[in-house]
Structure 1
């Protein structure tokens, strides 16, 4: 046991650098992806077929393509078209697209959960469509969508482990490098798994608590 702890203490600084990078790429992809997801949700919900069908195609492509394929496509495929991104930004763009595709459906579900009477009441008091969306529909929709959005964020943090396939030196990549040099794969991967769990387990409990807290107001 003492030997295991000694190895973990020796490896932790290197793994911590990868952990921070994993958090950074996750944060960037979530910020970009949720904003794009909101736009796609509005596009899919639009009455105009000119907006609805292109948005639907973008969403379904993103949902139907594995994140690993998106990573490979952006990092290895785009350079053949003259666009080369660093490993970090390739990971951020690919995961942002994946995030946008899935969160658009979460947000759209939140929008559809808002009672139609809310829009009718807004029209009665003279609000236009944009103001109704900004001040009436979206605040309620995002409240409904918040727990599943946070749950999806946890999944995207876990999915950042796929970035080792494009040479991003995140947590799994650094753990694999340590394992290759020391042949202590089991101990180092165990430590990496514990570092993921240290974030994901409390976050999952927090999301569950938030769902319980918001449930009464949603059904009121």
Structure 2
């Protein structure tokens, strides 16, 4: 208990940075992932190939390597980023690859009859997508997207390798100053568990509400 009391200000600061990394990267990754998903289902072969290549690269390489390339590699070509922007960029690009597949699965999960019915009424493609397909696709994709958000929140711990003072880095600092590494990492692990438990509960509530909306 004394470890928690003495290190509370550090933990609070680390928690704020962890949450910021996770939320900002998820929002940006969702926007980019949606664009990539649309490119994947596009009739334009170049866009489709570009999206497939993007997903293959960012899903096929470790996030840690991507963070290191952005933070240590980009300065070699004249692009210098601070630790937090570097971490956000890496997390965003990584999350977008997975989220694009979640969104694509949601879009493809909408019955083709929805498209055909809208087309028979003369509704333009983008209006059909925005008003009919997209709301249903989001409902289908919500479980997978929620799981990705939870995973991304844990992935923020890798930002510690580029000196971002988030929860994991705080645990290292507390351990090095008190030599109570086990307690420090158990404490931070418990905080991560609490964050993700709350996110899981929120995801469950959202899924039930969306389910009721379509059931009525």
Q: Is the 8 A contact 1:147 1:210 kept in 2?
A: no
Question: What is the Cα deviation at residue 151 of structure 1?
Answer: 1.4
**Correspondence 1:82 to 2:78:** yes
Q: Which residue in the other structure is 2:169 paired with? A: 173
Counting only pairs closer than 5 Å after superposition, residues 33-182 of structure 1 correspond to structure 2 as 33-182=29-178
1:153-209: per-residue Cα shift (whole Å, max 9, x none)? 011000100111011011110110111111011111111111111111232244345
1:106-152: per-residue Cα shift (whole Å, max 9, x none)? 00000000000101111111111111111111111011112211111
C-alpha distance in structure 2 between counterparts of 1:140 and 1:29, whole Å: 24
Q: Is the 8 A contact 1:144 1:218 kept in 2?
A: no
**TM-score when normalising by structure 2:** 0.94
Secondary structure in 2 aligned to 1:127?
coil
Q: Unaligned 5+ residue runs, structure 2?
A: none
Secondary structure in 2 aligned to 1:193?
helix
* Cα distance, 1:41–1:165 mapped onto 2, change above 3 Å: same
C-alpha distance in structure 1 between counterparts of 2:114 and 2:10, whole Å: 53
Q: Is the 8 A contact 2:139 2:207 kept in 1?
A: no
Q: Unaligned 5+ residue runs, structure 1?
A: none
**Correspondence 1:32 to 2:28:** yes
Question: What is the Cα deviation at residue 40 of structure 1?
Answer: 0.3
Q: Is the 8 A contact 2:107 2:137 kept in 1?
A: yes
Q: CA RMSD in A?
A: 1.8
